[in-house]
Amino acid sequence: MGFKQSGQQWRWCVVILMGMVAVTVNASNTHTNKVSRIAFGSCSNQSAPQPIWDAVIDFHPQIFIWLGDNIYGDIKRPFKLFGRERTIGPWKNAPRFIPSSEEEMEAKYRNAKSNPGYAQLKENSEVIGTWDDHDYGLNDAGKEFHRKIINQKLLLDFLDEPQDSPRRKQAGVYASYKYGPAGRDLQIILLDTRYHRDPVGSDGTILGNSQWSWLERELKGPATAVTIIGSSIQVISNLSATVHPLFSMESWAHFPKERDRLFKLIADSKRGGVFFISGDVHFGEITRYDCAVDYPLYDVTSSGVTQSVEGVVPPFLHFLVRFVAWLTPSTMRVKGPDCRYKSCVYGQPNFGTIEIDWDSHPVVLKLKVRDKNGIAVTGINTSLVELHASNSEDIVKAGHSSRHCTLEVSLPWIVRYRLAILVFITLAVLLVAFIGLVYTAIIVFSKGVCKRKHE
């Protein structure tokens, strides 16, 4: 009995100490200085040129947020259709990506951290962040990845996380930060979409039980004027639904139950002023969804610092990438006259910015995606008043609801798959043309042979 009582007392002491630690964490991540300028980015190959840092520095952000793929830590093997190890094709027998050793990951982080532009940014701005798959350690990996514990340490070292930070002891790199005085305060919530994520297609969990419990406490805690939720993968957009089977991109839409749970949690929290920032996809865009909570939810995607969809094709084919972006249906993408291209997708290196004018009435938020010169390529200006439930009726009256409430999976099939249909028709036409040319060549050759025989 005495042992049981002492055991219970010990457990209560542990609980109390953990609570004290949690309070300490929240206190250490709370800053009273008003924040009005934030930059963010993702997908930065440490071995590639990074001229974009000059534009980021010129924006003068008080905070810079990494949204994942902060380095490319895994090893990408070449395409091999034939041979002993085949990395693509129906007879693929070897993985295209393999993890690096701890020493290799450390070297890649050192390379990234020593970049002169990034080093200068760190001198003038606070840097915080989360990870995605390539700095997690393996392309598209989830909770099954065996090197996640050591790689968590390496990421937190890169971010200069204090050695005594509880973030180093938890399962995952999720974190929360608060800035500013009451009435002009904001909260930045960074999610970990890798450490606990079930396999894609399972419709299981992305965040895991412990992170969900933490997130609920954060969102249902004392509200801030603005809440920014950082996710390494897109929350609103579901482009995979419209580019399948040609391409596939990770997003919360692959886990519909999890995404619905996230939206419900935001709605139940009664918080206004919430929006998302994301990375991963190697292009920039802004999406919105008007039927998740009682006001529009925006997702500003910036990707990447070095990696981009146009960067993998020759310059003379960039027009084709832009045409595909324009043709691909997206019911969630925000389009307007300020976009550089008609699709409102930007497929070259970019970074995202958030400007908050606390002195305007109402408070104005400027959410932008910018190119390597710092020029906006797509963006929106919205007021904090519009990001509150009391304005939901105004949104419907403005006519936005019908467009930004239609999920991509709900589109008529001929619209949803029009890109794939066009590609397959084009391939079919080319195949018929090729067969016709071969047939014509055979006929001409046969007639020539017969003519020579007669002569």
Q: Give dist(CA 195, CA 132) in Å, integer.
A: 10
* Mean pLDDT in residue range 421-445: 93
Q: Give dist(CA 46, CA 1) in Å, integer.
A: 59
What are phi and psi for residue 28, nearest 5 degrees? -70, -25
> Which run of H or of E encompasses 20?
helix 2-28
The confidence score (pLDDT) of residue 453 equals 67
Q: Is the pLDDT of residue 24 over 80?
A: no
The confidence score (pLDDT) of residue 224 equals 97
Q: Which amino acid is at 144?
A: E
> Which run of H or of E encompasses 60?
none
The confidence score (pLDDT) of residue 399 equals 47
The confidence score (pLDDT) of residue 88 equals 87
Q: Is the pLDDT of residue 270 over 80?
A: yes
Q: Is the pLDDT of residue 430 over 80?
A: yes
Q: Is the pLDDT of residue 70 over 90?
A: yes
The confidence score (pLDDT) of residue 22 equals 37
Average pLDDT of the residues of the chain: 90
The confidence score (pLDDT) of residue 353 equals 98
Q: Give the end-to-end CA distance of the chain in Å, rounded to a whole number.
A: 115
Inter-residue contact 201 to 256 (CB < 8 Å): no
Which residues, in sequence order, are CB contacts of 261 under 8 Å at separation 6+?
212
Sorted by where each begins, the domain ranges of the chain are 30-411, 413-454
Summarize pLDDT for 373-399 with one digit per residue, the tens: 999 999 999 999 999 986 555 544 444
Q: Is the pLDDT of residue 403 over 50?
A: yes
Written out in words, the top-level CATH class of the domain with range 30-411 is alpha beta
Summarize pLDDT for 295-308 with one digit per residue, the tens: 999 999 999 999 99
C-alpha 353 chain-centroid distance = 15
The confidence score (pLDDT) of residue 9 equals 42
Q: Give dist(CA 73, CA 355) in Å, integer.
A: 32
Q: Is the dihedral of CA 265, 267, 271, 276 positive or negative?
A: positive
Helix 256-269 / helix 208-219 crossing angle, nearest 10 deg:
20
